[in-house]
Amino acid sequence: MQLSSCCPSRRRFRNIPILCLGIIPTDHLHIAEQNNITITINPKDYAKEVIPLKLRKLKVHIKINGGINRLGVSSKEELQDTICLLNQSNMFVEGIYTHIYNAWYKEKRNQFFHTSTNSF
Protein backbone atom coordinates (compact mmCIF):
# COMPACT_ATOMS: atom_id res chain seq x y z
CA MET A 1 0.00 0.00 0.00
CA GLN A 2 1.38 3.42 -0.94
CA LEU A 3 1.04 6.47 1.31
CA SER A 4 -1.52 7.96 -1.10
CA SER A 5 -3.75 4.93 -0.36
CA CYS A 6 -3.01 4.84 3.35
CA CYS A 7 -4.40 8.26 4.26
CA PRO A 8 -7.94 7.65 2.91
CA SER A 9 -7.84 4.23 4.59
CA ARG A 10 -6.88 5.87 7.88
CA ARG A 11 -9.81 8.29 7.65
CA ARG A 12 -12.18 5.36 7.20
CA PHE A 13 -10.54 2.93 9.64
CA ARG A 14 -9.25 4.97 12.58
CA ASN A 15 -8.28 2.16 14.94
CA ILE A 16 -6.65 -0.50 12.79
CA PRO A 17 -2.92 -0.81 12.08
CA ILE A 18 -1.90 0.33 8.59
CA LEU A 19 1.45 -0.63 7.09
CA CYS A 20 2.72 1.32 4.08
CA LEU A 21 4.95 -0.97 2.02
CA GLY A 22 6.10 1.68 -0.43
CA ILE A 23 9.23 3.74 0.04
CA ILE A 24 8.09 7.16 1.23
CA PRO A 25 10.08 10.26 0.31
CA THR A 26 11.51 11.67 3.53
CA ASP A 27 9.67 14.97 3.07
CA HIS A 28 6.35 13.05 3.31
CA LEU A 29 7.14 11.02 6.42
CA HIS A 30 5.49 13.56 8.71
CA ILE A 31 2.19 12.61 7.01
CA ALA A 32 2.68 8.98 8.04
CA GLU A 33 3.53 10.05 11.58
CA GLN A 34 0.50 12.35 11.87
CA ASN A 35 -1.84 9.64 10.57
CA ASN A 36 -0.42 6.79 12.68
CA ILE A 37 0.71 4.87 9.59
CA THR A 38 3.55 2.40 10.02
CA ILE A 39 6.31 2.70 7.42
CA THR A 40 8.87 0.28 6.10
CA ILE A 41 12.60 0.81 6.34
CA ASN A 42 14.41 -0.92 3.52
CA PRO A 43 18.16 -0.30 3.46
CA LYS A 44 20.06 1.02 6.48
CA ASP A 45 20.93 4.13 4.44
CA TYR A 46 17.23 5.07 4.34
CA ALA A 47 17.10 4.75 8.13
CA LYS A 48 20.01 7.19 8.34
CA GLU A 49 18.02 9.70 6.25
CA VAL A 50 14.93 9.31 8.45
CA ILE A 51 16.64 9.74 11.84
CA PRO A 52 17.49 13.47 11.57
CA LEU A 53 13.79 14.22 10.97
CA LYS A 54 13.05 13.49 14.65
CA LEU A 55 9.78 11.70 14.01
CA ARG A 56 9.25 10.45 17.56
CA LYS A 57 5.85 8.79 17.00
CA LEU A 58 6.79 7.03 13.80
CA LYS A 59 6.41 3.23 13.80
CA VAL A 60 8.55 1.17 11.46
CA HIS A 61 8.95 -2.34 10.07
CA ILE A 62 12.38 -3.29 8.75
CA LYS A 63 12.58 -5.11 5.41
CA ILE A 64 14.78 -8.20 5.32
CA ASN A 65 16.41 -8.98 1.97
CA GLY A 66 14.44 -11.88 0.52
CA GLY A 67 17.03 -12.91 -2.04
CA ILE A 68 16.56 -10.53 -4.94
CA ASN A 69 19.20 -8.25 -3.38
CA ARG A 70 17.18 -5.21 -4.32
CA LEU A 71 15.76 -4.02 -1.01
CA GLY A 72 16.20 -4.79 2.65
CA VAL A 73 18.92 -5.47 5.15
CA SER A 74 21.12 -8.40 4.19
CA SER A 75 22.77 -9.58 7.38
CA LYS A 76 22.21 -9.99 11.08
CA GLU A 77 24.75 -7.23 11.74
CA GLU A 78 23.02 -4.79 9.40
CA LEU A 79 19.67 -5.59 11.03
CA GLN A 80 21.09 -5.00 14.50
CA ASP A 81 22.71 -1.73 13.36
CA THR A 82 19.45 -0.53 11.83
CA ILE A 83 17.44 -1.39 14.95
CA CYS A 84 20.03 0.37 17.10
CA LEU A 85 19.92 3.50 14.93
CA LEU A 86 16.13 3.63 15.03
CA ASN A 87 15.93 2.98 18.77
CA GLN A 88 18.41 5.80 19.44
CA SER A 89 16.12 8.16 17.59
CA ASN A 90 13.12 7.00 19.67
CA MET A 91 11.28 5.53 16.70
CA PHE A 92 9.27 2.42 17.47
CA VAL A 93 10.51 -0.69 15.68
CA GLU A 94 7.24 -2.57 15.47
CA GLY A 95 8.39 -5.52 13.36
CA ILE A 96 10.32 -6.98 10.44
CA TYR A 97 9.12 -8.50 7.18
CA THR A 98 10.39 -10.13 4.03
CA HIS A 99 9.24 -11.51 0.72
CA ILE A 100 10.69 -14.79 -0.51
CA TYR A 101 11.14 -14.24 -4.23
CA ASN A 102 10.97 -17.80 -5.54
CA ALA A 103 7.86 -19.02 -3.76
CA TRP A 104 6.58 -20.78 -6.89
CA TYR A 105 9.50 -23.19 -7.05
CA LYS A 106 8.89 -25.60 -4.18
CA GLU A 107 12.18 -27.49 -4.44
CA LYS A 108 14.21 -24.28 -4.40
CA ARG A 109 11.93 -22.47 -1.96
CA ASN A 110 12.72 -24.64 1.05
CA GLN A 111 16.47 -24.50 0.46
CA PHE A 112 16.45 -20.76 -0.17
CA PHE A 113 14.15 -20.04 2.79
CA HIS A 114 16.43 -21.87 5.20
CA THR A 115 19.56 -20.27 3.75
CA SER A 116 18.03 -16.78 4.01
CA THR A 117 16.56 -17.12 7.48
CA ASN A 118 19.64 -18.84 8.91
CA SER A 119 21.71 -15.75 8.07
CA PHE A 120 19.69 -13.89 10.69
Give me the pLDDT at residue 72, please.
78
Give me the pLDDT at residue 54, please.
85
Residue 112 pLDDT > 70: no
> Has this prediction a pTM greater than 0.75?
yes
Residues 6+ apart with CB under 8 A from 109: 100, 102, 103
pLDDT in tens, 41-60: 877 788 888 888 888 889 99
Q: Return d(Cα 85, Cα 81) in angstroms, integer.
A: 6
Give the residue-averaged pLDDT of 55-81.
Answer: 82
Nearest CA to 116 among 104, 99, 91? 99
Backbone Cα Rg of the chain: 15
Kindly list the distances between the CA atom of residue 119 and the CA atoms of 9, 18, 24, 72, in Å, as whole numbers in the listed order.
Answer: 36, 29, 28, 13
